[in-house]
């Protein structure tokens, strides 16, 4: 009896070892393979827990529940401190739930939630151009063994990252966004996480209550350009804008559809005349603001890791030449369009890039027709 039990134990142990080997990355020393697994884990695994998010000098605590139900991705993020907020995702439908008086409604932006909100706008699939990745070693996050990766930009026109991935599943457990001096601007970290197993339906549903304000978050339309100007624009566009475009498929951020809408008759008449190498346009649209009579052109650019938006609107009479604001990793640069136009225009560049990069992008925004001049 004992030898048979022993042999059975050996067989079971061997099977588990084989499964563990098959579940691991094709090359455990390849940072790109780990990033591929991280991308899949964020989208495909079932997990729930709490994490902290430090950004702009503020520390937020959030809970998350994520699962794929009948082939449909479901996710719910809930802010645990500050103003009660939550974001619920059901496939392509995303709902933002706020309380009356939350100034986030007036800011026309989605609820910030670290890498999970940014995953709507980032393409975390492999290592994008312009970065180098190395495996640093192992650590322990939320009671789980983690593999640490360092992602460094090849040029100082974007930020670097440190990532901690669960050794077993490659799920992101901690991340740091680093400035050009290698100091963290943004920190995300799980404090408790359970991976795998069923997720209770109630953890994935939108909160109910007559006092709650619910907004559908609208994913931006693909780039629309005037066909008559497309050829002229392509001649003058920087080659860097075309690099990596195959991995930028409808990755623009979400916007509150209650504060802006896009019509099929609108075309974007502006472009960035200079982009950092590896950045490409991911979306463009015209935003209508109910409180204003004019419209705002919005262009979104990404290199697969970092994202920034360009807004172009008619300039107010009292506009200062240049205005720069910063909140944590996010910078905003406002300036007049330098190109000669019949009326003054205001350009605002907002995103997680160094100030110098945002300023250079803003300086080179131009009417689309100028690309062929």
Residue of 344, 343, 342, 336 lying closest to 362 (CA atoms): 336
Which residue intervals of the chain are DSSP H helices?
2-23, 31-44, 104-107, 115-118, 227-236, 355-363
Nearest partner of 127 among 261, 61, 31, judged by Cα? 31
Q: What is the pLDDT of residue 216?
A: 72
Higher-confidence position of 21 and 124: 124
Kind of pairing, strands 213-219 and 58-69? unpaired
- pLDDT over threshold 80, residue 231: no
Q: Give which of 202, 36, 190, 16 is closest to 116, Cα–Cα.
A: 190
Query: Which among 135, 138, 165 has a CA at the least distance from the CA of 150?
Result: 135
What 8-state DSSP symbol labels residue 171?
-
Query: Looking at residue 96, what is its pLDDT?
Result: 82
- Tens of pLDDT, residues 328-366: 888 999 998 866 677 788 999 998 899 999 999 999 998
**pLDDT score at 211:** 76
Binned at pLDDT 50, 70 and 90, residue 126 comes out as: low
Q: What phi and psi, each to the nearest 5 degrees, are found at residue 139? A: -150, -175
Please give the CATH architecture assigned to the domain spanning 23-204: Clam (2.50)
Enumerate the domain spans of the chain. 23-204, 220-372
pLDDT at 43 over 60: yes
CA distance 367 to 345: 10
Average pLDDT over residues 266-290: 82
Which segment, 38-42, 163-167, 337-341, is predicted with the most confidence on average? 163-167
User: Is residue 103's pLDDT more than 80?
Assistant: no
Indicate the class that CATH gives domain 220-372.
Answer: alpha beta
Residue 120 pLDDT exceeds 60: no
pLDDT tens, position by position, 58-101: 888 999 999 999 999 999 999 998 888 888 888 888 888 887 76
Minimum mean pLDDT among 9-18, 22-31, 180-189: which range?
Answer: 9-18
Structure tokens at 357: 């990069």
Task: Tell me whether domains 23-204 and 220-372 share a fold.
Answer: no
According to the per-residue pLDDT averaged within each range, which of 43-47, 251-255, 292-296, 367-371 is highest?
A: 43-47
Return the percentage of the chain with pLDDT > 70, whole number: 68
Rg (CA), the chain: 23
Which residue did the predictor score with more confidence, 335 or 290?
335
- The reported pTM is 0.73
How confident is the prediction for the chain on average, in pLDDT? 75
**Which residue matches tokens 């004992």?**
2
> Per-residue pLDDT for 306 more than 90?
no
How much is the average pLDDT of 244-250?
24
Identify the CA nearest to 276 among candidates 354, 184, 187, 371: 354
Mean pLDDT on 226-245: 34
Alpha helix positions (H), 24-149: 31-44, 104-107, 115-118
**Can you tell me whether residue 136 is helix, strand or coil?**
strand
Q: For position 27, what pLDDT does the model report?
A: 61
Most confident residue range from 24-28, 90-94, 194-198, 216-220:
194-198
For residue 87 the two structure tokens come to 């974001």
Task: Specify the higher pLDDT residue, 150 or 343.
Answer: 150
Highest mean predicted confidence (pLDDT) among 257-266, 278-287, 364-373: 278-287
Residue 232: band (very low, low, confident or very high) from pLDDT cuts 50, 70, 90? very low
């Amino acid at each position: 009896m004992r030898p048979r039990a022993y042999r059975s134990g050996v067989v079971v142990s061997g099977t588990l070892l084989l499964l563990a080997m098959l579940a691991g990355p094709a090359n455990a020393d390849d940072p790109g393979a780990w990033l591929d697994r991280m991308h899949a884990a964020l989208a495909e695994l079932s997990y729930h827990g709490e994490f902290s998010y430090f950004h702009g000098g503020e520390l937020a605590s959030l809970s998350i529940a994520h699962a794929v139900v009948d082939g449909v991705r479901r996710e719910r993020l809930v802010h645990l401190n500050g103003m009660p907020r939550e974001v619920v995702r059901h496939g392509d439908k995303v709902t933002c739930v706020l309380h009356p008086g939350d100034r986030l409604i007036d800011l026309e932006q989605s609820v910030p939630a670290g890498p999970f909100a940014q995953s709507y706008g980032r393409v975390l699939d492999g290592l994008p151009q312009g970065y180098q990745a190395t495996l640093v070693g192992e650590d322990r996050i939320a009671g789980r063994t983690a593999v640490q990766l360092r992602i460094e930009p090849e040029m100082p026109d974007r930020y670097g990252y440190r990532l901690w991935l669960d050794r077993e599943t490659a799920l992101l457990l901690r991340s740091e966004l680093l400035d050009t001096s290698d100091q963290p601007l943004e920190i995300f970290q799980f404090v408790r996480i359970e991976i795998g197993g069923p997720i209770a339906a109630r953890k994935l549903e939108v909160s109910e209550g007559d006092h709650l304000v619910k907004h559908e978050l609208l994913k931006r339309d693909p780039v629309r350009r005037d066909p008559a100007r497309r050829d002229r624009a392509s001649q003058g566009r920087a080659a860097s804008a075309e690099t990596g475009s195959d991995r930028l498929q409808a990755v623009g951020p979400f916007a509150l559809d209650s504060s802006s809408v896009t019509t099929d008759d609108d075309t974007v008449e502006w472009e960035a005349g200079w982009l950092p190498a590896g950045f490409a346009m991911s979306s463009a649209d015209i935003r209508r603001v109910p409180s204003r009579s004019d419209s705002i052109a919005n262009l979104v650019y990404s290199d697969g890791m970092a994202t920034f938006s360009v807004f172009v609107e008619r300039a107010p009479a009292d506009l200062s030449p240049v205005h720069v604001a910063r909140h944590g990793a996010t910078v905003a640069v406002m300036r007049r369009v330098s190109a000669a136009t019949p009326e003054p225009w205001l350009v605002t560049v907002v995103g997680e890039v160094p100030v110098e990069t945002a300023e250079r992008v803003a300086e080179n925004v131009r009417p689309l027709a100028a690309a062929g001049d």
